[in-house]
């Protein structure tokens, strides 16, 4: 791209699959190099500074400080959608994709919360000379995945062929990002709906490559390690087997995948989707598992979009969907791939706001039961 970011096309249509044609590979925008020195009002050049990580001394969690994101794009009008393809015949527009059409495309986020700046060493230091205040560069990477060039589509409506391409993109980028220096985990996710707080309505997701284990991932790895130490088995395997034995919360089964509402679901709508085979991450899936996933995921999203009805009309579900994959290094051997999909909608036009005990202490309260969630999804088969 014009400012040095990487962009990757994933094609499933002709003439691109056969190589008879190639997507546009140049970016005509007059963007400066993102790592170029910044000149202040006095004409003095200063090295670019990236986002940083600060460790919370009370919990040990890393918090990304990325002040440049305050002015990022927010719900632009249709004619200024940065994820739309370029307009045919236009000499310039400030969109991220230079071609006039695409199938699936992945590119580095223009406003990342994680960014590895060349020449900056990723080492923790004491801020202001205080040992309690630890800071380090937020040396990761943030990517955007556009599921379709059509802004009126959603992931649910892309169809099995396109969903299969998206699965390939997820797996490809997971492998590529996991190989970058200093990366500890790769998180593939999608936010959908204004209730979730999306800043762009175009059908897209994101991929974060983190230089540390996120708090929830670290907790799950610790739990999985303790279970393995005690039993010699994978916690994820035993959980899936237990859900299959009980059966009451299983909502969807295929040859390679099982979807179920977890025993201790936190959210008013929550589903986990897990492979039948013990798999650490998306790149480890076979072709058959990936093809099956494309169909299963679309069926799961279809049911979720029918979960709530208002005046006999289904309400498209606002949700967050995230792939929990084995970390790159720590705890990889005890981790097992699964997808978590959940929604903040607890009833038509009613949101679940985190109460004081949930936001303040992380002590969750669910206002429904996992069995009721599962029963509704089973009815929508």
8 A C-beta contact, residue 187 and residue 208: yes
Residues 6+ apart with CB under 8 A from 33: 3, 4
Residues 6+ apart with CB under 8 A from 298: 156, 158, 159, 160, 163
Catalytic residue among 204, 227, 256, 324: 204
Number of alpha carbons in the 13 Å side-chain half-sphere of residue 327 = 24
Is residue 202 among the annotated active site residues? no
Buried b or exposed e, range 194-214, using 16+ CB within 10 angstroms:
ebeebebbbbbbbbbbbbbbb
8 A C-beta contact, residue 337 and residue 324: yes
SS (H, E, C) 323-359: EECCCCCCCHHHCCCEEEEEECEEECCEECCCCHHHH
Helices (H), the chain: 160-178, 215-231, 235-246, 287-304, 356-361, 370-379
Q: Which residues are catalytic?
A: 204
């Amino acid at each position: 791209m014009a400012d040095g970011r990487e962009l990757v096309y994933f094609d499933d249509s002709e003439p691109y699959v056969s190589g008879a044609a190639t997507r546009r590979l140049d970016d005509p925008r007059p963007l400066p190099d993102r790592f170029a020195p910044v000149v202040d009002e006095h004409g003095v050049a200063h090295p670019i500074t990236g986002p940083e990580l600060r460790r919370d001394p009370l919990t040990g969690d890393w918090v990304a400080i990325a002040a440049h994101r305050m002015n990022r794009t927010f719900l632009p009008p249709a004619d200024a959608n940065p994820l739309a393809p370029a307009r045919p015949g236009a000499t310039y527009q400030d969109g991220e994709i230079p071609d006039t059409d695409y199938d699936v495309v992945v590119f580095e986020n223009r406003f990342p919360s994680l960014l590895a700046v060349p020449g900056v060493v990723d080492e923790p230091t004491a801020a202001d000379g205080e040992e309690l205040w630890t800071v380090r560069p937020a040396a990761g990477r943030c990517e955007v995945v556009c599921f379709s060039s059509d802004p009126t589509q959603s992931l649910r409506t892309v169809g099995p062929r396109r969903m299969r391409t998206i699965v390939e993109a997820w797996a490809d980028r997971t492998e590529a990002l996991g190989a970058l220096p200093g990366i500890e985990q790769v998180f593939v996710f999608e936010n959908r709906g204004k209730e979730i707080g999306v800043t762009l309505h175009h059908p897209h997701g994101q991929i974060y490559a983190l230089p540390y284990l996120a708090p929830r991932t670290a907790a799950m790895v610790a739990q999985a390690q303790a279970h393995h130490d005690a039993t010699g088995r994978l916690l994820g395997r035993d959980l899936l087997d237990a859900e299959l034995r009980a059966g009451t919360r299983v909502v969807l089964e295929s040859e390679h995948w099982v979807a179920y509402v977890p025993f201790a679901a936190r959210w008013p709508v929550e589903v986990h989707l897990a492979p039948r085979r013990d798999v650490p991450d998306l790149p480890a899936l076979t072709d058959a598992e990936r093809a099956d996933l494309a169909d299963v995921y679309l069926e799961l999203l279809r049911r979720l979009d029918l979960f709530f009805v208002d005046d006999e009309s289904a309400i498209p579900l606002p949700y967050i969907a995230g792939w929990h994959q084995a970390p790159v290094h720590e705890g990889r051997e005890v981790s097992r791939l699964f997808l978590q999909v959940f929604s903040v909608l607890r009833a038509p036009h009613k949101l679940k706001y985190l109460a004081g005990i949930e936001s303040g202490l992380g002590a969750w309260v669910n206002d429904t039961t996992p069995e009721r969630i599962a029963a509704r999804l089973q009815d929508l088969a």
